[in-house]
Amino acid sequence: MTNLRSLLEQTATRFKAAGIESFQADAEQLIAFSLGISRGELVAKAFLNSEFTAEPSLLALIDRRANREPLQHLTGVAFFRQLTLSVGEGVFVPRPETEAVVSVALEFLRSKPNAKVLDIGTGSGAIAISIATEAGVEVDAIELSDTAAKFARANIASNKARVNLMVGDFRDLELGFGEYDLVISNPPYIPISAVPIDPEVRDYDPDLALYGGEDGLDLIRDIEELSQLLVRSGGMLVLEHADGQSDSVCELLLANWQNVKAHPDPTGRLRFVSAIR
Ligand code: SAM
Ligand code: GLN
């Protein structure tokens, strides 16, 4: 027998010791998820300090998170902009910096109600579904991994989004040349030798979602080349990239694109580029 307040404190302390940066938020989210209540309700209940016995299933979840399984795999959901997306083993967990990448696309699409958009490497569908639902436009989305595509399909259906999912390598699919007002991608871009430190990324995000060859830019180069054909004149290309790749990606675009712009993420790091065809 314990009480919620001390369970919450002990869990947060354990997560902190395990090296989890967002230890407090994760402790709250995981316990709230297990009790089937909101985070706000949990904090209110913990304040009352009533007796509480944790179920073995909750203790098991806490163990798994302390062993650095991603929170989103344990709860089965990831929050992205206005969406609650189903995620799990075999699909990339969408990141907050990608929310800002979507903002640039939405700004561009504001004056284009009938725009056609392509999201390359859609994963859970985060970018494609956000654009389809927030801009009210039609989005084509490509994903190579069958497992990721299953999550994308479920998320497209549950959000009733106008997204056409295509499964395959973007380099092999037949796509309409000059058809797109916007091509957007958060492709794999980590150099093969720069294995991430965080176990949640290294051990749980699929390798196919992370690594982009020797300098990380293999897919970015291929997407840029293909997009020269796919994007109509005056249309936009938006590419997320790693911290430190901005100059290389801008240079890559300067030959065939106009208005090449480097954009910072909310923490001020240059993490994506937009350009006009
Ligand atoms: N767009 C999602 C997001 O932002 O959360 C997922 C991004 S994840 C970093 C990159 C995605 O590209 C992965 O789902 C991966 O499976 C997919 N991918 C990798 N190579 C691909 C290829 N050649 N063709 C299509 N998709 C590919
Ligand atoms: N942003 C991811 C990370 O946290 C990398 C994803 C990618 O390669 N697109 O490492």
Q: Which atom number of ligand 2 is nearest to the Cα of residue 95? A: 1
CA 12/CA 160 separation, integer angstroms:
37
| 258-268 mean pLDDT | 96
**Both 37 and 162 in a single domain?**
no
Q: How does pLDDT run across 97-109, given as a tens digit for each residue?
A: 999 999 999 999 9
Percentage with pLDDT > 70 across the chain? 100
pLDDT tens across 219-237, in order? 999 999 999 999 999 999 9
H helices of 18-145, where?
23-35, 39-48, 56-66, 71-75, 96-109, 126-135
For residue 211, give the DSSP letter: B
With a cut of 90, say whether residue 243 has pLDDT above it: yes
Name 114's Cβ contacts closer than 8 Å, sequence gap at least 6: 137
Domain boundary among the residues 39, 67, 95 is at: 67
What is the Cα Rg of the chain in Å? 20
pLDDT, tens digit, 9 for 90 and up, residues 50-89 = 788 899 999 999 999 999 999 999 999 999 999 999 999 9
Give the closest residue (by CA) to ligand 2 atom 2.
210
Q: How many CB atoms neighbour CB 241 within 10 A?
A: 25
Contact between 186 and 238 (Cβ < 8 Å): no
**pLDDT-based confidence at residue 33 (cuts at 50, 70, 90):** very high
Same domain, 62 and 180: no
Among 242, 147, 230, smallest CA distance to 184 is for: 230
Report how far ligand 1's centroid is from the alpha carbon of 187 (Å): 5
21-33 burial, b for 16+ CB within 10 Å, e for fewer?
A: eebbebbbbbbbb
Residue-number span of the structural domain to which 230 is assigned: 77-276
Question: What is the residue type of 263?
Answer: H
Strands 138-143 and 163-167, bridge-based pairing: parallel
Question: Do 37 and 100 belong together in one domain?
Answer: no
Structure tokens at 230: 């796919």
pLDDT score recorded for residue 253: 98
User: Is the CA virtual torsion 205, 207, 211, 212 positive or negative?
Assistant: negative
Distance 86 CA to ligand 1 centre (A): 16
The preferred substitution site among 184, 185, 189, 270 for testing ligand 2, maximizing ligand atoms within 8 Å of CB, is 189
With 80 as the cut, is the pLDDT of residue 7 above it?
Answer: yes
- Among 67, 102, 117, where does a domain finish? 67
207 Cβ neighbours under 8 A, 6+ residues apart: none
Confidence of residue 49 (pLDDT cuts 50, 70, 90): confident
Residue 247 lies in a domain: yes
Q: What is the mean pLDDT of residues 150-162?
A: 98
Most ligand 1 atoms within 8 A of CB, residue of 143, 207, 210 to mutate: 143
- Report the atom number in ligand 2 closest to the C-alpha of 98: 1
Assigned token pair, 216: 């990380």
Tell me how far the alpha carbon of residue 56 lies from the centroid of ligand 1, in angstroms: 36
Q: Does the pLDDT of residue 198 top 80, yes or no?
A: yes
Ligand 2 centroid–CA 241 distance in Å is 8
Mean pLDDT taken over the chain: 97
Whether residues 154 and 83 share a domain: the answer is yes
| CATH number of the CATH domain containing 217 | 3.40.50.150
Question: What is the model's pLDDT at position 1?
Answer: 59
Cβ atoms of residues 136 and 113 within 8 Å: yes
Please indicate, yes or no, whether residues 102 and 58 belong to a single structural domain of this protein. Answer: no
Distance, CA of 246 to CA of 154 (rounded, Å)? 34
Number of domains in the chain: 2
Give the position, in ligand 2's atom list, of the atom nearest the Cα of 212.
8
Does the pLDDT at position 135 exceed 70?
A: yes
pLDDT of residue 273: 98
Ligand showing the shortest atom-to-Cα distance for residue 217: 2
CA of 33 to the centre of ligand 1 (A): 28
How far apart are the CA of 122 and the centre of ligand 1, in A? 5
Same domain for 33 and 82, yes or no, is no
Percent of the chain with pLDDT over 90: 95
Tell me which of 22, 39, 67 is where a domain ends. Answer: 67
Distance CA 178, CA 40 (A): 48
Rounded to whole angstroms, how far apart are CA atoms 90 and 208? 10
Q: Which residue has the higher pLDDT, 170 or 46?
A: 170
Residues 24 and 116 in one domain: no
Residue 61 lies in a domain: yes
Same domain, residue pair 28 and 83: no
Residue 177 pLDDT: 95
Ligand 2 residue neighbourhood (C-beta within 6 Å): 95, 186, 188-190, 196, 201, 210
Going 55 to 60 to 65 to 67, the CA torsion angle's sign is: positive
In the prediction, which pLDDT does 2 show?
79
Cβ–Cβ under 8 Å, residues 146 and 155: no
